[in-house]
Amino acid sequence: MFPFRMPGAHVPHRKHTASLSPVRLPVPKQVTIPLSMHIGAPAKAIVKPGDVVAVGQPIAEAGGFVSAPIHSSVSGTVKSLDEIWMSGGPSMAVTIQTDGEQRVWEGVKKPDVCDKESFISAVRESGAVGLGGAGFPTSVKLSIGDKPFDALIINGAECEPYITSDTRTMLDDTDSLFAGIALIRQYLNPGRVIIGVESNKAECIKKLTAQAPLGVEVKALPPVYPQGGEKVLIYHTIGRVVPEGKLPIDVGAVVMNVTTLAFLAHYMETGMPLVEKCVTVDGGAVKEPKNVIVPIGTPMQDVFQFCGGFVCEPKEVLYGGPMMGVAVPSTELPILKNTNAILALTEKETRVKKQTACISCGNCINHCPFHLNPKEMARAYALEDWDALEKLKVNLCMECGCCSFVCPAKRHLTVTNKLAKRQLAARKKKS
């Protein structure tokens, strides 16, 4: 395992909406809720066209252990159950025509929790996934069995440019964040609790430090991307390295996002499952950047329109930030459980310079958080030298984009690593 080293990449922060508390989007005319909004098996629909549904009502059950149930974010009538094309491929989706009433399902009630098992069961029923963008089912993350667990690390880094939805959680929903932490301490009993926040979020650090209960540490971290990466955060908070092929729990740690914890507190108090998301709406093409509370399944175009529409035709629209975000083919695509931002970027913001020959400067190595060698990985990939790629530990690459960002030759190193990882996985599956 290669050691972590700073500085990563000093990306522009562009936190234009950091001071803007979220505003609520009016009920959309229609929502389209994909059944694949999390890592793992897609959920299985339990409704059909013509069914009348209400807010918080289950519309899909978990499709396996690594999966999560899905609930209606609106009241209305199921219009269709069809396959739609998401950025990552096809997904079944439930489309609901809303009635504008936002009637709450009669089954929404505070869960009965008395021990660790019932707590994890309630988390599963809530539909919770990692709300920082990863989308890993939260109940699976907390199902640690008898593995030693002595550090709960809470991710408040929010290191991607533009995104401020977690910042607003830390400032506007502080009590719920600490209530969520209390639940984890009560039922899983971690030895340490550390909230990691980049030092450029001084207001967040000040407020969290002032309200933190005994035993909860607030740690200021260098504002360097990708500080919020799970393995990077573990190293910079408790000094442990997660080995290749291992999970945080294998080094005694669990990492959770601040907004995920705040949501769990709300759910345990009200019984309302995950049906809406705070989303940062920004980018040079957006007329009025905002943080917006959006029903899951709302078309992106409705959210952009709520923010005044576009001042110019976007060159690129993304789920998430510019470093690790996913480009979308259409603004008709919906807001997902793990959507923390949607960006509409101008040509100037997305302009890609022409690739030139590698000058062997070593920038890609020096800025990689895992001290990998993207230059040699690119060479091995071009030669189809799969053994060399494994020895170079390409599977450790977190696809953060630092290597491409700092490369003076503007080589597409991150894309090459993604392709190399997929090729290796496909070859192993065949063998």
Span 300-357, pLDDT tens digits:
999 999 999 999 999 999 999 999 999 999 999 999 999 999 999 999 998 878 899 9
pLDDT exceeds 70 at position 371: yes
Instruction: Tell me which residue of 153, 203, 176 sits closest to 259, measured CA to CA.
Output: 176
pLDDT of residue 364: 95
Cβ neighbours, 10 Å, residue 109: 11
**CATH class, 116-270 region:** alpha beta
pLDDT of residue 3: 45
pLDDT of residue 4: 45
Which DSSP string do the residues of 302-371 spell out, in sequence order? Answer: HHHHHTT-BSS--SEEEES-TTT-EE-S-TTSBP-TT--EEEEE-HHHH--PPP-------HHHHH-TT-
- How far CA 387 is from CA of 29, 381, 427, in Å, comes to 53, 10, 11
Q: Which tens digits make up the pLDDT trace of 249-281?
A: 999 999 999 999 999 999 999 999 999 999 999
Using DSSP, state whether 414 is helix, strand or coil.
helix
Q: What percent of the chain has pLDDT over 70?
A: 98
With beta carbons less than 8 A apart as the criterion, state whether 372 and 394 touch. yes
Q: What percent of the chain has pLDDT over 90?
A: 90
pLDDT of residue 7: 60
User: What is the rounded average pLDDT of the residues 288-305?
Assistant: 98
pLDDT exceeds 70 at position 231: yes
pLDDT of residue 89: 80
Q: Which tens digits make up the pLDDT trace of 52-109?
A: 999 999 999 999 999 999 999 999 999 999 999 887 788 999 999 999 999 999 999 9
pLDDT of residue 6: 55
pLDDT confidence band for 2 (50 / 70 / 90)? very low
User: What is the rounded average pLDDT of the residues 228-232?
Assistant: 94
With beta carbons less than 8 A apart as the criterion, state whether 394 and 379 touch. no
pLDDT exceeds 90 at position 162: yes
pLDDT of residue 5: 47
CATH 3.10.20.600 domain extents, the chain: 275-351
Helix axes 116-126, 174-188, angle to 10 degrees: 140
Q: What is the CA radius of gyration of the chain?
A: 21
pLDDT of residue 147: 84
Pick the CATH number of 275-351 from 3.30.70.260, 3.40.190.10, 3.30.565.10, 3.10.20.600: 3.10.20.600
pLDDT of residue 428: 84
User: What is the rounded average pLDDT of the residues 214-228?
Assistant: 95
Q: What is the pairing mode between strands 70-71 and 58-61? A: antiparallel
pLDDT exceeds 90 at position 34: yes
pLDDT of residue 85: 87
pLDDT confidence band for 382 (50 / 70 / 90)? very high
CATH 3.40.50.11540 domain extents, the chain: 116-270
pLDDT of residue 129: 96
Find the angle CA(112)-CA(54)-CA(268) to the nearest 5 degrees.
25
pLDDT of residue 427: 87
Q: Which tens digits make up the pLDDT trace of 103-147?
A: 999 999 999 999 999 999 999 999 999 998 778 999 999 998 888
pLDDT of residue 114: 96
